[in-house]
A and B are shown apart, each in its own frame.
Chain A
Amino acid sequence: MRLSIEEVGLRYGKVDVLTGFSARFEDHTLTALTGPSGSGKTTLLAAMAGYLQPSSGTIRLYSDEGQPSPPTPALVAWVPQGSNALSGRTALDNVLLGALSSGRTMTDAVAVATAALERVGVAHRAGAAAKTLSGGELQRVAFARALASDKPIIFADEPTANLDADSTDQLAHVLEALRSTRLLVVATHDPILIEAAQTAVSLRPEHHGH
């Protein structure tokens, strides 16, 4: 699976976030999406996931057979910037959402979710309520939720903002291991993640003339 962006413009109302932007995101590749705060990383990922229509240009997904299709949320697991969670539920229940929404049996889903929590290093907090987790733990739970879904595409929006260097390293290794099966894009300012990525796409801030 491959994702191609051609001459895309993105805007909120009358305010352009991106104009004439082109890029390619390859399968089996971890791409770092970089750029200053407010440059449009989240906005671009939203368009690449089919949550936002570009005001101009085209975004196309290409299957391994080269078949093009418009982007759709159904193919994307999204790790949100704010680590959204069901705060009253356990970490495991939160991760289960990813596995159960793809139709697994409960036994199967629990196995997948537990493995995902182990992979990001928070398995010991599986039974804890999400509202009691630290910022970094919650961020890793949000990542594990994406892992536990069977989506071929993972977009992670600043997944290491609350993590220390060790946890970031661990996540970088997870991303590296996932590369063989998924299309991975990580919006990040983190040098460790940028270093771990095979390619980087950089956004310049849009200059509005006054």
Chain B
Amino acid sequence: MDTDRWRLTHLVREVARNVLNARSRPALLLFLAVIFGVGGIGYAAAESHALANQLAAEQAAGRNIISFGALDPNEPVLIDRASCDQLTEIAGVTRAGLVQLATSRDFLQLGTNVPVLAASQTLFPALRDGVVLVGSALRPPAATDFTLATTEGTLMQARVNHAEPTGLNTNSVVVVPLTPGTTSTSACIAVLDQRADASLLTPILTARLHTAGGQIVAQPASSPAIDPVKAYLSRPGQYVPLILGLVGGLATGLVNRSRTSELAAYRLSGTSARSSALLLGLETALIAGVTATSAVAAILALHDRIQTPLATACIALAGAATWWLTGILATIDIPFRNAISLAKDR
């Protein structure tokens, strides 16, 4: 039978010398493997960057901000303060708290009839510093902290509230803390984490609220037609590493087809078809391993710029496996061909 006595270590040495050899053709594949491995991750980072931009824009427009209030304006509802403030204990909720549109007041620096909103410190943590928050659209006289005075002469420490999303509608109001005695109001607001799934969380949050009076309803501050996170998670672009693996595997098949004369050198001097197949399979595994390693290295280097590093790594590894399998499928007939006709291939 067609057998030989190659030792595995020596065959592995052949693999290394054939692939890690600038003068040999598989070195081209090695180059491709690094480019594809890093390129696939670079593409994922670019997609993540686009998502981050989109999320920032939608966050400013009020994405993932949910207000709870009466379903029917004729049937007012009272929401218990503790149950609303404690929504922050639920994973995916960044902040939450009661709000109450108190009155409007006249301020020396801001003009007359400025709306004043009373809110929980859990919704506006800056209130804990003993300041009131002045919406940036009110043209406050200072960029940060200043002393705010009412026309009656009451002074209070104020801080400009720059960073609130429009969904909270605080850009043109002064936010003051709810008095400790307030135990319920008609409105509760929750700000969710940008990655959280609002449609999943909303019923959970609604169920946590203790209410009295009419029926309660949850309303998102903005509801974009397409959820950018869902769109990101189901984007076809995430499978680019699989396509790259397929292309790499086909390239491996092409390169191996240009090496039939070399294969003949093995086969005609005592290497069996099986050992030749093993040699080519191990060579392809080494090349696929290099593309996997490059991809993982790129993920480690860019991990804070990739939204889903673990999923990206899994797909990159699947891409490397695709490379290996495709490469083998595109090559496997060569070692089993007649060695004499292999030698004549030129």
A interface residues with partner B (beta carbon < 8 Å): 42, 46, 49, 51-52, 72-74, 77-82, 84-89, 93-94, 97-98, 100-103, 106, 109, 129, 131, 142, 145-146, 148-149, 151
Contacts and interface: CB of A to CB of B under 8 A. Distances in A.
A82 B269 contact: no
Given A97-B271, A102-B270, A146-B269, A84 B262 contact: yes
Given A51-B339, A93-B17, A82 B7 contact: no
11 contacts: A72-B2, A74-B2, A74-B3, A78-B339, A84-B262, A85-B262, A98-B270, A101-B270, A102-B4, A149-B270, A151-B270
Contact of B262 (A87, A98, A145): A87
Contacts of B2: 72-74
Interface string B260-275: 0110111111111001
Given A72-B2, A89-B18, A129-B23, A78 B338 contact: no
Contacts of B336: none
Given A89-B18, A106-B10, A101 B269 contact: yes
Contacts of B275: 101
B303 interface: no
A89 B25 CA distance: 11
A79 B17 CA distance: 23
B56 to A, nearest CB: 52
Interface residues of B, number: 34
Nearest to A79: B268
Interface string B237-250: 00000000000000
Contacts, number: 105
A80 B5 contact: no
Given A42-B340, A100-B6, A101-B4, A86 B262 contact: yes
Contacts of A78: 268-269, 339-340
B343 interface: yes
A97 B270 contact: yes
B235 interface: no
Contacts of A89: 17-18, 21, 23-24
Interface string B1-41: 11111110010001001100101110100000000000000
Contacts of A82: 261, 343-344, 346
A72 B272 CA distance: 11
B334 to A, nearest CB: 14
Contact of B343 (A74, A84, A145): A84
Contacts of B3: 74
B268 A80 contact: yes
Interface pairs A-B: 5 shortest CB-CB: A103-B5, A88-B24, A101-B270, A88-B23, A78-B268
B75 to A, nearest CB: 84
Contacts of A102: 4-5, 270
Given A73-B339, A87-B262, A131 B23 contact: yes
Nearest to B342: A84
Nearest to B272: A74
Contacts of A101: 4-6, 266, 269-271, 275
B316 to A, nearest CB: 29
